């Protein structure tokens, strides 16, 4: 006696009828209730008004009690992409200095019409722009005039972003171009730098101000919050980022090599210690 049930010997099963796509009116009816559901708002963590860090990880204990007294005025030209970075250093730099001594301008293009104050600054004989290159003078060798307070422009962004801003804004070719002659390694170890001696914006400002103000304690004071930031991130899972130069020289670079000949040439120069 055979048990009841389906059997493959009974022949093929009837093919199912093709499914019908819902009409636009049926779609609207199905989604009608969704519009009434409460929207969950994503609230940002409260930030410290001074260091711009979340209050739970505020770095104010590592900042100077009072803003540093300096005669030099910094103009930070910040690429818009830097503004959204979580671990940016410019807010820490600004927190170390009086507001009138650290002015931040955000953008890619700076015309004389839109930025008349910046245009005036660029034409000031006392203004320097910190950007390395063949035409740059070592800052240590520059004689600063005593007639007016010195002004320094620093571009904040990745190296490609900084290059784009420098060469596509004619205003930045007016000030005297300077560079830092230093062999110190960056302490911003939670972000990858092109070479071992490439410095973050905060570190560049700290070294430059130390030279211009002839005060070695400035560098130590400005670097203190950066050291605290990196230490905190490393304690909570961040990894030390070696420079691209270090990774290439030690065979640790694990990304595909670029197919673009210009980018590949830049990597070869890094390995061979040629300045780029």
Helix (H, G, I), strand (E, B) or coil at 15: coil
- From the number of C-beta atoms within 10 Å of its C-beta (0-12, 13-18, 19+), residue 228 rates as middle
Non-local (6+) Cβ contacts of 276 within 8 A are 194, 266, 269, 270
For the chain, 276 residues long, the average pLDDT of each consecutive 10-residue run is 40 51 61 58 74 86 95 97 85 96 97 96 95 94 86 94 96 96 84 77 96 96 95 86 69 68 59 50
Residue 24: its pLDDT value, please? 59
pLDDT value of position 192: 74
CB 104 within 8 A of CB 94: yes
Residue recorded with tokens 């818009």 = 80
Say how many C-beta atoms besides its own lie within 10 A of residue 253's C-beta. Answer: 17
Q: Taking the alpha carbons of 98, 130, 151, 186 in that order, is the dihedral positive or negative? A: positive
pTM for the full model?
Answer: 0.75
Q: For the stretch 158-174, what's the b/e string if a residue is b when 16 or more beta carbons lie within 10 angstroms of its beta carbon?
A: eeebbebbbeebebbee
CA distance 119 to 110: 9
Comparing CA positions, the residue from 180, 175, 172 lying closest to residue 151 is: 175
């Amino acid at each position: 006696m055979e048990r009841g049930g389906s059997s493959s010997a009974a022949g093929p099963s009837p093919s199912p009828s093709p499914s019908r796509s819902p009409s636009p009116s049926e779609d609207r009816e199905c989604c009608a209730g969704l519009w009434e559901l409460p929207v969950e708002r994503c609230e940002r963590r409260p930030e410290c008004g001074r260091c711009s860090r979340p209050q739970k990880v505020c770095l104010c204990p590592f900042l100077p009690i009072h803003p540093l007294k300096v005669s030099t005025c910094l103009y930070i030209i910040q690429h818009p992409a830097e503004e959204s970075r979580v671990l940016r250093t410019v807010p820490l730099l600004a927190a170390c200095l009086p507001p009138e001594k650290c002015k931040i301008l955000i953008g890619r293009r700076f015309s004389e019409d839109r930025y008349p104050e910046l245009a005036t600054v660029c034409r000031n004989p006392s203004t320097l722009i910190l950007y390395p290159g063949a035409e740059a003078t070592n800052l240590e060798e520059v004689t600063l005039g005593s007639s007016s307070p010195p002004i320094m422009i620093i571009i904040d962004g990745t190296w490609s972003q900084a290059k784009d801003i420098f060469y596509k804004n004619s205003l930045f070719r007016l000030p005297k171009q300077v560079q830092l002659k230093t062999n110190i390694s960056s302490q911003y170890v939670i972000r990858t730098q092109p070479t071992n001696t490439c410095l973050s914006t905060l570190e560049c400002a700290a070294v430059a101000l130390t030279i211009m103000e002839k005060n070695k304690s400035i560098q130590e004071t400005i670097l203190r919050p950066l050291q605290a930031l990196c230490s905190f991130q490393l304690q909570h899972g961040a990894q030390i980022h070696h420079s691209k130069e270090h990774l290439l020289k030690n065979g640790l670079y694990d990304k595909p090599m670029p197919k673009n000949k210009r980018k590949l040439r830049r990597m070869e120069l890094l390995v061979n210690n040629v300045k780029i």
